[in-house]
């Protein structure tokens, strides 16, 4: 009898018996979500008596109840007279930030660790408020990237995160630490201060090395920073173009913080994907954004919060004065951009107000020229397009992630309904279901029913 030797002999005991039973595959859960109104994020009118069928993490079918069959044995989530929408997307957040930490002492007290702990808490609040995807644009070196990984691995609850590294700034610019003795420095600035095209290219490459999804640059001065002016251009057009070129080599987009008219136009000519804030945009800048299809991401709510809460939060007077001056001008420019047909994506600069209140901006957008439907599309279809994620999020249709939210009323009649989200699903998993708002809750369709 031949005897097996070597590797074959060592493998023999581990080989499965031909008579061993293979465990049955785990069945993919099937859910069906019903609501009186369905806004699918594609721009059409609401669907009456909408149904969304979910298999696993993704949408299998969606449409009116008389056209979508609910599979036998499905779990049905009945939202009654509510309105079902795609999960919302905020394209400008800082999850590690706090509205009570803008006093200058926090520059030296906060560490990346404290910011990371804050970001975990804020990720959950943001998700429960109905924002199932966010774009985190700027923060301590690479906290958002690590948080994205933790959320994706299921370690902590949170929205899908499209993460940048720290925003790339010029020396003395919006991202630098200004007004202190020369001996004062902070760890992490080496990742964000860049002067000249070569340094900008190196900074972008470094950010890519650490796994960012996009690049954030500071093209102009800022509001919540010392010693600079929002309207002043900081990175040059050549530096901005260098950032765009390096990012494009890796298939990444660039978001440009740009308040001033000159910086907006330079960033647009350089080829950025979005202008953040856009506060002092002029007629030429509006035309340039429209011609190039560049998104405007304007945080037009948070000025109200700052004006009301500045003293309580101990926000430095310089920041408050700049914010007061810029808010009205920014809103006027936003209205002109909307009227001209510039593409708008929803973004709030979350961290300047209490996290989870992102949806308060919808009413301000409607007040300054958008219809409720257009405001909703800015946080669904348009936002997904800016992020390059239209195959996964932003609309309710087959193949997309089952990221869904619901409110009790009709947000097309009162867009502030979106501040009162009562149902949240992310990737087919129910994150929030308010039983008082939706008392019908969950029911099981009998396996033999085949009910619609």
Active site residues: 216, 349
Rounded to whole angstroms, the Cα distance separating 149 from 424 reads 21
- Report which DSSP code applies to 350: B
The residue among 214, 315, 217, 311 whose CA lies nearest residue 270 is: 217
Q: Please tell me what DSSP assigns to residue 398.
A: T
Under DSSP, is residue 93 helix (H, G, I), strand (E, B) or coil? strand
In this structure, are strands 442-444 and 75-78 parallel, antiparallel, or unpaired?
antiparallel
Residue 75, CA distances (Å) to 72, 81, 316, 375 in order: 9, 19, 53, 32
Cα 248 to the chain's mean position, in Å? 21
Secondary structure string (H, E, C) spanning 117-150: HHHHHHHHHHHHCCEEEEEECCCCCCHHHHHHHH
- Number of residues written out for the chain: 452
Tokens 């702990």 correspond to: 117
Q: Strand, helix or coil at 380?
A: coil
E strand or H helix at 37, and its extent?
Answer: strand 30-38
CB 141 within 8 A of CB 193: no
Locate all alpha helices (DSSP H) within 210-271, ordered by sequence: 237-249, 261-270
DSSP 413: T
What is the rounded CA–CA span in Å between residue 194 and residue 196?
7
Q: How far is CA 330 from the centre of its chain?
A: 21
Query: Residue 17, class by beta-carbon neighbours within 10 Å (0-12 exposed, 13-18 middle, 19+ buried)?
Result: exposed
From residue 126, give the alpha-carbon distance in Å to each of 95, 101, 132, 355, 424: 9, 19, 8, 7, 11
Yes or no: say if 333 and 280 are a contact pair by the CB < 8 Å rule: yes
């Amino acid at each position: 009898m031949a005897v097996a030797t070597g590797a074959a002999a060592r493998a023999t005991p581990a080989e499965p018996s031909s008579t061993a039973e293979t465990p049955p595959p785990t069945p993919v859960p099937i859910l069906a979500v019903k609501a009186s109104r369905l806004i699918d994020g594609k721009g059409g009118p609401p669907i009456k008596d909408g149904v969304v069928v979910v298999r696993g993490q993704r949408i299998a079918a969606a449409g009116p109840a008389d056209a979508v069959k609910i599979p036998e044995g499905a779990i049905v989530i009945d939202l009654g007279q509510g309105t079902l929408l795609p999960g919302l997307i905020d394209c400008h957040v800082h999850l590690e930030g706090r509205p009570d930490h803008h006093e200058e002492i926090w520059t030296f007290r906060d560490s990346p660790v404290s910011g990371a702990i804050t970001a975990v808490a804020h990720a959950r609040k943001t998700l429960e408020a109905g924002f199932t995807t966010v774009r985190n644009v700027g923060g301590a070196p690479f906290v958002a990237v690590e948080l994205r990984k933790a959320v994706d691995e299921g370690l902590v609850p949170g929205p899908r995160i499209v993460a940048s590294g720290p925003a790339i700034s010029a020396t003395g610019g919006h991202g630098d630490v200004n007004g202190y003795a020369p001996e004062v420095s902070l760890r992490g600035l080496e990742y964000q201060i860049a002067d000249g095209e070569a340094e900008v290219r190196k900074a972008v490459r470094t950010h890519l090395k650490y796994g960012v999804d996009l690049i954030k640059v500071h093209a102009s001065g800022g509001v919540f920073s010392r010693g600079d002016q929002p309207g002043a251009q900081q990175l040059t057009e050549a530096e901005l173009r260098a950032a765009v070129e390096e990012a494009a080599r890796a298939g990444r987009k660039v978001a440009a913080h740009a308040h001033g008219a000159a910086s907006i136009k330079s960033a647009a000519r350089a080829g950025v994907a979005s202008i953040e804030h856009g506060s002092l945009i002029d007629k030429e800048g509006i035309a340039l954004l429209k011609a190039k299809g560049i998104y405007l991401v304007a945080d037009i709510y948070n000025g109200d919060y700052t004006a009301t809460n500045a003293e309580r939060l101990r926000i430095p007077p310089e920041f408050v004065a700049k914010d007061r001056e810029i808010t009205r001008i920014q809103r006027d420019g936003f209205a002109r951009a909307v009227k001209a047909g510039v593409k708008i994506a929803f973004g709030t600069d979350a961290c300047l107000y209490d996290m989870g209140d992102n949806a308060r901006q919808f009413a301000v957008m409607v007040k300054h020229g958008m219809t409720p439907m257009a405001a909703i599309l800015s946080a669904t279809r348009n936002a997904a397009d800016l992020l390059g994620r239209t195959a996964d999020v932003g609309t309710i249709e087959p193949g997309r992630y089952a990221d869904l939210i619901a409110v009790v009323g009709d947000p097309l009649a009162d867009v502030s309904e979106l501040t009162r989200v009562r149902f949240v699903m992310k990737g087919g998993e129910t994150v929030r279901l308010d039983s008082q708002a939706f008392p019908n809750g969950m029911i099981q369709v009998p396996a033999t029913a085949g009910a619609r």
